[in-house]
Amino acid sequence: MRHDLTLMCRVYGVTLAGYYAWHSRERSQRDRRNEALAEQIRTVHLESHGTYGSPRVHQALRNKGHCVGKHRIARLMRAHGIKARVATIRYTNPSLKRYYGSIPNQQLDLELKTPDQVWVGDITYLKMGGIYRYLAVVMDKYSRRVVGWSYGPRKDVKLTLEALNRAVAAAGRALAWCSTPIGASSMLQVFSRSVSPS
């Protein structure tokens, strides 16, 4: 659909000469560099399955040899609508909500600089041949790498503890922070006993 240019220029408060000058002008070198950088950002973002925000995109680009500022990365990501996926916590158990609400989540504000500072965990179910099985996973929050997992017929402390024990065995030590979604109070008691020095 064609619009009357005179009317459009009047609406936007520009002259026809100004519009034609803008339309025929070559893009600046900075604009072209920004567009090329935006493509690199999209590539890194897709490689992370949409989980990287501007700090991690910046680090990934620096690791690839690009010399670029973190504020420029953040600005370009905002301009192109590139965002990290954010997990939403849904509470289905009122007592669990009260339990988590009573404890400040200090690891959320912790600035991570290396792997093995904070682990997070989750449990999901898989339906295989009409039978449900549960999968507990422990992931390093910085690298997003799975460091421990466990698979079994029941969603219980034993399942979670087995995933944590595998993570500890792989890392050779336990961490100060490990956030898991189920059986928190009893699991933490069992886990703290199991990793306490004898």
- pLDDT, one tens digit per residue, over 95-151 is 766 776 777 766 666 788 888 888 888 898 888 777 889 999 989 888 889 999 999
Is residue 177 predicted with pLDDT exceeding 60?
no
Is 88's pLDDT higher than 80?
no
Helix (H) / strand (E) containing 11: helix 5-12
Partners of 150 in the beta sheet?
136
pTM beyond 0.85: the answer is no
Domain boundaries 94-195, corresponding CATH code: 3.30.420
Can you tell me the distance from the alpha carbon of 159 to that of 187, in angstroms, rounded to the nearest whole number?
A: 10
Is the Cβ–Cβ distance between 121 and 136 less than 8 Å?
Answer: yes
* pLDDT tens string 36-69: 999 999 999 999 888 899 999 999 999 988 888 9
**CA neighbor of 142 nearest in space, from 118, 166, 176, 171:** 118
Rounded to an integer, what distance in angstroms lies between the CA atom of residue 93 and that of residue 129? 29
- What single-letter DSSP state applies at residue 105? -
Average pLDDT, the chain: 79
Average pLDDT of span 171-178 = 62
For residues 107 and 179, give the distance between their C-alpha atoms in angstroms, rounded to a whole number: 9
Q: Which of 138, 139, 155, 149 is nearest to 93 (CA)?
A: 155
Q: Taking the C-alpha atoms of 167, 169, 175 and 177 in order, what is their torsion angle to the nearest 10 degrees? A: 30
Q: Which residue has the tokens 């009047």?
A: 10
Query: Which of 195, 194, 189 has its CA nearest to residue 175?
Result: 195
Q: Rg (Cα) of the chain, in Å, rounded?
A: 25
Domain residue ranges of the chain, discontinuous segments joined by +: 5-79, 94-195
Q: What is the distance, to the nearest Å, from the Cα of residue 111 to the centroid of all Cα atoms in its chain?
A: 14
Using CB atoms within 10 A of its CB, is residue 159 exposed (0-12), middle (13-18) or buried (19+)? buried
Residue 197 has what pLDDT?
47
Beta strands in 81-162, from DSSP E residues, in sequence order: 118-128, 131-140, 146-152
